[in-house]
A and B are shown apart, each in its own frame.
Chain A
Amino acid sequence: MIEIRFHGRGGQGAVIAAELLAQAANLDGKIPQSFAFYGAERRGAPVVSYARIDDRPIRLRTAITAPDIVVVLDPGLVEVAPVMDGLKPGGTLLVNSPLPPERFPTPKPAFVATLDATQIALSHGVGSRTMPIVNTTMLGALSRVSSVVSLSAVQHAIDEHVPARPAENGLAAIEGFHTVRVAELPGLPGGKAPSGPVAPALSSEVPEGPIASMASDVLHTSSWRTLQPVITREKCTRCNFCWKFCPDNAIDLDSEGFPVVRNEHCKGCGLCAVECPPVAIEMVVEGGA
């Protein structure tokens, strides 16, 4: 039995990715299973989904804690979510990232694969400008780096089960298949994952003061975005529309009244660019991970 865990953000298609993989494996003659972790249903929130593939009916119904394959649909998640937890030695980590595989060292020896699925999805018009959907591109890549599913089964599953733009999704999967890079990495000394940002310690005691008293500004929501706003100061008329319509209060006005994007909090929604009367704001693809 092969166990696959998908990590994505709400809206990127992680749940559908697990479902499509199961459908594709079924077309390959395997017996699959897929389901999602029940969490907050929000665009941008970390999402986990699972798939199991075997030659026999699968009776196990639990969450996957020791996956053979981990697929990460959003490069920002590697730093904020425990994506490598339990990945088996000799397993496969597939990450949507323009960076080379060596930039994602795993605790145990593993095959690490990367591809810029965001760029591929955007170039094929899969999803929207502000929210490219990378799941089909990633499945194409998965069919290259593992024997769990074939590319032709992935294409058939897309044709049958993707309601919007199946042709474009199929092309994105093929490009994912051809552009993914793989490296065999030796694992980290001590077998431990590099420490990411440490979450605030949870107290087991009932607090006397307010339950939540830390300012939310410490949370950097910029890792949610794929596009970021760039303001052309020469075109700006200082009308404040971008400041007014920012749902994340991520635009400050400087002493002369020019808007300044607070990069760590901007989620890349693009409202400022659409509402800017002189069109002085452009949404550009975030460079690198």
Chain B
Amino acid sequence: MAKLTLPPVELVRSGHSACPGCGPALAMRYLLKGTGERTVVSVPASCWTIIATGYPTTALRLPMIDTPIEATGASISGLRAALDALHMSDVQVVGFAGDGGTVDIGLQSLSGMLERRTDALYVMYDNEAYMNTGIQRSGSTPEGAWTTTTPVEGMARGKGEPKKDIMGIVLAHHPVYAATLNVAYPEDFLRKAQKAASLKGPRFFHVLAPCPPGWKFASDQTVQIGRLATDTGIFPLYEVENGKLRVTRKLGQLKPVRDYIKVQGRFGHLTDAEIDTVEHEVQASWAALLQREARP
């Protein structure tokens, strides 16, 4: 019998209403295994408000607050202050927001929480569009992707703008700890969650959470596609602790981005030339990442 590589404690219950094969459902499960039972979670309008709260039930075994979509950062600053006033400084405060609620609607609130040096962990689970309302593009949708608001018909070729660099924005606030995580690599995910839980001060996670209906792939491919995102260099895994960057999944040769793009319906219209462009961009950003890691 193989040893468990994740703690057996389950803080997410069954019976939640995530889609079959949901990446964000795995993200919450792994995160709470790392932060543990003494955690409170603030969730803004996003898939997870629906996933967790089929009234009158809750899918979490710990307290969850439903927050307005623009207020996740403010809510976790307030929760931290209240818990400290109650002498409950050992309780982990986690904000768990989607990409739209973070890079678009909640950006000011996130920036405020980081700037106030709030002792809390802000997690952005990135399924790369407003999925809960039916696949509308967000600032975090990658260039070229089909969504219902960036259609592919006639001259329209999906989203025309590149994905917003949320890690760059967050790192400009000099958090204590920031990392990228991927539900396809649960052991790396767990280690980062445990590490974040051991630190004090503002912390940030950018979690890639593949979405079968939104990205247009079969529900059994979530982990395969997640792995490809990292192994092609599109979503590298790294952590930045007090300004020092470290790549946590080393890659010798990057896999061709074609392997990742071709298996998702949202990219089905991309031509070979367009995919080659993505390939070059990914190789350049991967090289830049390795250079930043080598910096003393």
The contact sample of 9 A-B pairs, CB cut-off 8 A, is: A40-B17, A40-B50, A42-B19, A43-B212, A44-B20, A128-B219, A216-B15, A247-B26, A269-B222
- A44, A237, A273 — most chain B CB neighbours (10 Å): A44
**Are A41 and B14 interface neighbours, CB within 8 A?**
no
Interface size bucket, A side?
35 or more
State which of B14, B22, B56 has its C-beta within 8 Å of the C-beta of A200: B56
Instruction: Select the stretch in B92-100, B126-134, B191-199, B284-292 that faces chain A.
Output: B126-134
Instruction: Select the stretch in A59-67, A101-109, A181-189, A206-214 that faces chain B.
Output: A206-214
State which of A41, A131, A257 has its C-beta within 8 Å of the C-beta of B132: A41
Whether a CB of chain B sits under 8 angstroms from the CB of A45 is yes
User: Chain A: interface secondary structure?
Assistant: loop
**Are B19 and A212 interface neighbours, CB within 8 A?**
no
Question: Nearest CB to that of B24 among chain A residues?
Answer: A247
**Are B213 and A274 interface neighbours, CB within 8 A?**
no
Chain B residues within 8 Å of A, Cβ to Cβ:
1-2, 4-6, 10, 12-23, 25-26, 29, 47, 50, 52-59, 63, 131-135, 186, 212-213, 218-224
**Are B19 and A250 interface neighbours, CB within 8 A?**
no
Instruction: Select the stretch in A70-78, A88-96, A260-268 that faces chain B.
Output: A260-268
Known contacts A40-B50, A240-B4, A249-B29; A216 and B222 CB within 8 A of each other: no
CB neighbours (8 Å) of B26 from chain A are 245, 247
- A window 199-258: CB within 8 A of B: 200, 202, 210-221, 224-225, 237-240, 244-245, 247-250, 256-257
Known contacts A214-B56, A267-B20; A43 and B134 CB within 8 A of each other: no
CB neighbours (8 Å) of B63 from chain A are 210
Chain A residues within 8 Å of B, Cβ to Cβ:
10-11, 40-45, 128-131, 200, 202, 210-221, 224-225, 237-240, 244-245, 247-250, 256-257, 262, 265, 267-271, 273-275, 283
CB neighbours (8 Å) of A217 from chain B are 13-15
- In angstroms, how far is the closest chain B Cβ from the Cβ of A163? 10
- What's the count of A-B pairs with C-beta under 8 Å? 152
Instruction: State in angstroms the CA–CA spacing of A10 and B26 once bound together.
Output: 20
State which of A11, A214, A247, A274 has its C-beta within 8 Å of the C-beta of B29: A247
Instruction: State in angstroms the CA–CA spacing of A271 and B184 once bound together.
Output: 11
Known contacts A212-B53, A218-B57; A250 and B20 CB within 8 A of each other: no
- In angstroms, how far is the closest chain B Cβ from the Cβ of A281? 10
- In angstroms, how far is the closest chain A Cβ from the Cβ of B32? 11
**Are A219 and B219 interface neighbours, CB within 8 A?**
no
Known contacts A43-B212, A249-B13; A237 and B131 CB within 8 A of each other: no
CB neighbours (8 Å) of A44 from chain B are 17, 19-20
Instruction: State in angstroms the CA–CA spacing of A262 and B63 once bound together.
Output: 25
**Are A274 and B5 interface neighbours, CB within 8 A?**
no
Instruction: State in angstroms the CA–CA spacing of A247 and B24 once bound together.
Output: 8
**Are A214 and B2 interface neighbours, CB within 8 A?**
no
**Are A247 and B15 interface neighbours, CB within 8 A?**
no
- A10, A239, A249 — most chain B CB neighbours (10 Å): A249
**Are B21 and A269 interface neighbours, CB within 8 A?**
yes
**Are B2 and A240 interface neighbours, CB within 8 A?**
yes
- In angstroms, how far is the closest chain A Cβ from the Cβ of B9? 11
CB neighbours (8 Å) of A211 from chain B are 55-56
CB neighbours (8 Å) of B131 from chain A are 41
Known contacts A43-B219, A216-B57, A247-B25; A257 and B1 CB within 8 A of each other: yes
- In angstroms, how far is the closest chain A Cβ from the Cβ of B59? 4
Instruction: State in angstroms the CA–CA spacing of A265 and B58 once bound together.
Output: 15
